[in-house]
Homo-oligomer: A and B are copies of this chain.
Amino acid sequence: MAAASHPVVLTISVVLWGCHRVTYLNAGDGAMFGFMRSEIISIGTELTAGMTLDTNAAWLARRLSAVGIAAVRHVTVSDDRDSIRDAVVRAAARAGVVLVTGGLGPTADDLTREALADAAGRPLVVDEPSLTHVRGYFQRIEREMPEANRRQAYLPEGAVAIENPLGTAPGVVVRVGGSVVYAMPGVPLEMRAMYERSVEPELAAQSGGAAMVTRTVHSFGASEARVAELIEDLMVPGREPTVGITACDAVISVRVIARGATRDEAETVAEAEAGVVRDRLGSLVFGAEGETLGQAVARVLCERGLTVATAESCTGGLLAKHLTDVSGSSAYYLGGFVTYGNEAKSELTGVPASMIAEHGAVSEAVGVCMAEGCRVRLGADLGLSTTGIAGPTGGTADKPVGLVYVALATASGTIARRLLVNSELGRGVIRQRSCNAVLNLLRRYVIWDLEIGTDGGV
């Protein structure tokens, strides 16, 4: 928020949030999370019609919980002025804070500004600083401002604009009944930047220090049921802190949620519980919080000063993409080959055509040869390969869709693994799991200095 030019917002907020804070636990939503309650409204016919999956509401809910505010209801309405107004008015009647995303674009079907004005019972008026911002945006990219974008500078009278660092649409803070409504763009990147920069600091200040802290521990290599067994006693309903499990592409993540009167207190509890989880899962654990397996591998390679190269068939570039997801990846990632066709396998990674003829492109022999080839050709410490049938076509009785070989080549030998992913999970999942499997093979090899030729628990 442009605090210097709009100091009024903070004042309004204090008054409103004072009356809406839930200071006790009850049997309803409050008991689950306590503290301040909020509702989230997502706007867009593409959302209600199911064309686009809304990820904003879940993201906001997680962020709200970090500052001790519980999101107790999400509502999604289409681009209809009356429906939006109705949703805002009802949410404001129930919760002290309402977060709205979407409908702030420049086109005729962007109606959130109008609906907020209706909900607040105020007319729309032009906000000069916002108009300057929109004009400035187009000046910077050396284009003329389309007339349509002028609409984005209109706000309900008495509302305050929230600066948009990434786009043209300013956000809006407006009081509706006894509640403060924050409207942000629907584009996730713009919404997240605006929330982090302007909305969250205000909400955090208002939540009076009370906090909920989440710690996530990621593991790979055991099933969800097996992980659940290892931490069964921590997952008893009603226990504090709460511990839950989610699974995605064979990565099993354990989530700890702790709360406390202060952020420090909640963090101490969460960290202690996450420590117990890490101990129980042992070497299955590869990372924490937002870290992906690719990032964990990157970290381990950097720590050891090792370099890696890739040769991909079925993953077709996805493995390299994971290894280069972080800035500075040239420190450990030298380069790679996408050898989708058989000729490329021979040409680029030196797999003999006779080997492909004898064993087939999807075979342990070819996978090993690819890993060794890319390692040698790029002069890397380690080489990784994938070859498999990602489907949906191309499977046979012998080599069904979902069969994948991954390999890790080192100076002292090569380790290969055979995977069989459930073909019904589809091409995208088969490719992702293949990447995860070979990245985890690499991670465990580097950490444990496993001996080549043994199974070694990798």
Contact residues of A with B, CB < 8 Å? 27-29, 32-33, 44-55, 57-65, 70-80, 82-83, 87, 105-109, 111, 143, 146, 148-149, 165-166, 187, 189, 193, 214, 216, 223-226, 228-229, 232, 235-237, 242, 244-247, 255, 257, 310, 312, 315-330, 333-341, 343-344, 347-348, 377-379, 390-394, 422, 424-429
Contact = CB atoms under 8 A, between A and B. Distances in A.
Contacts of A338: 310, 317, 320, 324, 333, 335-338
A51 B255 contact: yes
Contact of A49 (B71, B82, B320): B71
Contacts of A379: 343
Contacts of A61: 48-50
A29 B80 CA distance: 6
Contacts of A44: 246
B228 A107 contact: yes
A48 B73 contact: yes
Nearest to A74: B76
Nearest to A59: B50
Contact of A244 (B46, B321, B427): B46
The SS class assigned to the A binding surface is mixed
Given A75-B74, A336-B338, A391-B327, A146 B226 contact: yes
Contact of A50 (B62, B87, B235): B62
Contacts of A82: 27-28
A348 B340 CA distance: 16
A337 B340 contact: no
A149 B345 CA distance: 43
A289 to B, nearest CB: 10
A148 B328 CA distance: 43
Contacts of A78: 29, 32, 72-73
A246 B58 contact: no
A13 to B, nearest CB: 22
Nearest to A343: B334
A413 B183 CA distance: 50
Contact of A187 (B29, B226, B247, B347): B247
Contact of A316 (B72, B329, B340): B329
Given A61-B48, A109-B245, A244-B51, A422 B166 contact: yes
Contact of A224 (B62, B63, B106): B106
Contacts of A58: 47, 50-54
Contacts of A427: 325-327
Contacts of A143: 223
Contact of A327 (B63, B214, B394): B394
Contacts of A32: 45, 49, 78-80
A302 to B, nearest CB: 14
13 contacts: A27-B82, A32-B49, A32-B79, A45-B242, A47-B74, A49-B61, A51-B62, A73-B77, A73-B83, A166-B424, A316-B333, A329-B340, A334-B343
Contact of A228 (B74, B148, B340): B148
Please list the 10 inter-chain residue pairs (A to B) with the smallest Cβ-Cβ separation, ordered nearest first. Answer: A317-B320, A316-B324, A50-B61, A335-B344, A317-B317, A50-B58, A317-B321, A50-B62, A74-B76, A146-B225
A318 B321 contact: yes
B51 A216 contact: yes
Nearest to A429: B189
